[in-house]
Structure 1
C-alpha cells in the first residue's frame, strides 16, 4: 500500500499541499478503502435546531394542498357566516376588515418562516452537491487506480512474454534454426 503523498502523486497531477479540503478528505477515504457516506438527511437533521425543524414543518404544511383547501374553506366559512349574520350584527361585516388584518398578519409571519426553510433547502442542496462531488471524485480515483493496476499487470505479462520469446528464439538459434 502506498503512503498518502505517493497515492496523491500517482492519481493526481498535484502535490498534497495544492489539494483542497474536499480532495484531501476523498483521497484519505480512497487510500483507506472506506466509503463516503451520502446520507444527507441524517447529516443535516443532526445539526438542525428546534427553530429550523419548526420552520421546515411550517413550510411543509403551509405549502401543501391540504392547507390551501382547508384555508380556502375557512375563508368561505368566514365570509358566509359574516354575510348571513350581517343583518343581525356580524362580527366582521363586509368588507371583512378584521379578516384582512388576520390574513396580513399570517402572511407577515409565514413568509419569513418559509424563507428560512427555503434557505435550509438551498443549504441542503449545496451539501448534497458536495457529497455528490466527493463520491464522483472517489469513483474516478478508483477507476484510475484500476487502470494503473491493469496497466502494471499488462506490462508485467508483456515483459514475461518477451522473455519467453527471447528464450525460445535462443533455443531455435541453438538448434540450428528454422
Structure 2
C-alpha cells in the first residue's frame, strides 16, 4: 500500500499519525486499503507457529491432565504396591518392598519431567490467548473503522441530498416571487 493512503486513513479514521500506529492497526488499515479480510483463526495461527516441542508438550499435558491417566496411574501404583507387599513378598522375591524406595524414585522422576512439560503447555496456551486477543482486536478495529467509513458515506449522501433539495426550494422560491 502506498504510504499516502495509509497516512490519510490513520489521521482520518484513527486520529493518529502513521508512524504512531502499532502492528495491528497498520494491518487493519492495509486490509481496508486492499479490500481484504483481516479475521483469522487463532488456533490455526498458533498451530502454524508451533514447534515439535510445543506440540509434544500440549500432548503430554492433555494426557497427563486426563481422568484416564489418573485412573490408569492409580491402578498401576496400587498394583505395584500389592505385587511388592503381598504377592512377591510371599515368595521372598519382592524387588521393591515397603517403603517402596524405587517407586518413590520413579514418581519423583515422573513429577520432575512432567511438571515443566505441563508448564510449557500452559505458556503456549497463554501465548495462544494473547494471539487470539490480538486477532480479536484487529477484527473489532476493522469493524469499527468500516462502520465509521459507512457513516461518512451516508453523511455525504445526506448532505448532497439536502443541498439538492435546498437548491430546488430556492429555485421554486425565485419563480414564485412576485415581480
What TM-score do the two structures reach when normalised by structure 1? Answer: 0.91
Once the two structures are TM-superposed, the CA of residue 24 in structure 1 deviates from its matched residue by: 1.1
Match of 1:87 in 2: 90
Aligned match of 1:29: 31
Coordinate RMSD, CA, aligned? 1.5
Shift of 1:12: 1.9
Of 15, 18, 24, 1:16 maps to: 18
Q: Which residue of 2 aligns with 1:169?
A: 173
Displacement of 1:47 after TM fit?
2.0
TM-score for both structures, normalised by structure 2? 0.91
Structure 1 residue matching 2:99: 3-state secondary structure: coil
Which residue of structure 1 lines up, in the alignment, with residue 54 of structure 2?
52
CA deviations 1:47-73 (Å, max 9, x no partner) are 221111111111111111111111111
Q: Give 2:164's aligned residue.
A: 160
Cα distance in 1 for partners of 2:141, 2:39 equals 13
Encode CA deviations 1:15-39: one digit per residue, 9 max, x unaligned. 1122122211111112212111321
Q: Please give the per-residue CA displacement for 1:126-175, whole angstroms capped at 9, x wherever unaligned.
A: 1111111111111110011011011111101111111111111112214x
Question: Which of 61, 64, 77 is the aligned partner of 1:62?
Answer: 64
SS of residue paired to 1:3: helix
Once the two structures are TM-superposed, the CA of residue 101 in structure 1 deviates from its matched residue by 0.9
Which portions of structure 1, spanning 4 or more consecutive aligned residues, are displaced by more than 4 angstroms? none
Show structure 2 runs of 5+ residues with no match: none
Deviates more, 1:142-151 or 1:22-31: 22-31
Match of 2:153 among 149, 155, 165: 149
Q: How far apart are the structure 2 equivalents of 1:131 and 1:14?
A: 21
Q: Is the 8 A contact 2:39 2:138 kept in 1?
A: no
Q: Which residue of 2 aligns with 1:131?
A: 135
Residue 104 of structure 2 corresponds to 100
Larger displacement relative to structure 2 (56-65 or 31-40): 31-40
Equivalent residues, number? 174
1:54 aligned counterpart, secondary structure: helix
